[in-house]
Amino acid sequence: MAHVLAVANQKGGVAKTTTVASLGVALQELGRRVLLVDLDPQACLTFSLGVDPDTLAISVHEVLLGDLAIGDAIVATADGPSLLPATIDLATTESMLLTRTGREYALRTALTDLSSTVDEPFDHVIIDCPPSLGVLTINGLTAATDLLIPLQCETLSHRGVGQLLNTVKDIQRMTNPGLHVLGVLPTLYDARTLHSRDVLDDVTDRYGISVLDPPIGRSVRFAEAPAAGRSVLATAGRTKGAQAYRQHAERIAARAG
């Protein structure tokens, strides 16, 4: 079974998608086989990796509803990792799952079947959860081995961490007792501001979870990469941000074994 990492924070704009794409490519550089899963109806990860969601006939939507084997929906990306893409159809998936028994386990069930539907097994699966705490995010957390929480160093994003951790406790109690919180990954970080440092200190004190180092600094390179349909490791691989993601990928690879 692959190591499954969920990347989640119900606040939008905290670099979840950038983190998923960057870690995926960095792990691929280490020789790992990687599958990225786009659980966001906005399909930002899909678009960012050069796949036009408007041209796709099938996506994770059909997989979650059990209408399609997961291997039949996976597509290749220019940067290396495979992708289980999203389309706008995913916006209706939550309401359709709500009437189904075991709806929280739809993604886990699909990933369990993964080895029988692809030629070579994946070492890592990284899930880009939507900016909400609905059924799709619960599916991501239920399927995951570990959770990584990107945190923009500002007060509103900080509040979202507490709400997410309450959901994680419910997940650990009811659907995934083995879910482990790796910690908070500071993103869009500006070390020059006292506010950024204060937010990180408060997160550690308030929630007792690790703040992962190095932080991901704010850079226009991250905004430029999706326009090219590539990750920042492909478009600006020598920047500090790209190197920081490589360091985090090495730790994730070591943890997975």
pLDDT of residue 38: 98
CB 75 within 8 A of CB 85: yes
For helices 135-143 and 155-174, the axis angle rounded to 10 degrees is: 60
Average pLDDT for consecutive 10-residue bins of the chain (257 residues)?
A: 92 91 97 97 96 96 96 95 97 93 96 82 96 95 97 73 91 97 90 77 85 89 85 90 96 93
Distance CA 114, CA 112 (A): 5
pLDDT of residue 244: 96
pLDDT of residue 120: 83
Q: Give pTM, 2 decimals.
A: 0.95
pLDDT of residue 228: 85
Distance CA 107, CA 66 (A): 10
pLDDT of residue 156: 62
pLDDT of residue 155: 67
Residue in the structure block whose two tokens are 């794409």: 21
Backbone angles phi and psi of 13, in degrees to 5: 75, 25
Rg (CA), the chain: 17
Q: Which domains does the chain have, with CATH numbers?
A: 3-256 (3.40.50.300)
**In terms of Cα–Cα distance, which of 129, 138, 105, 144 is closest to 41?**
129
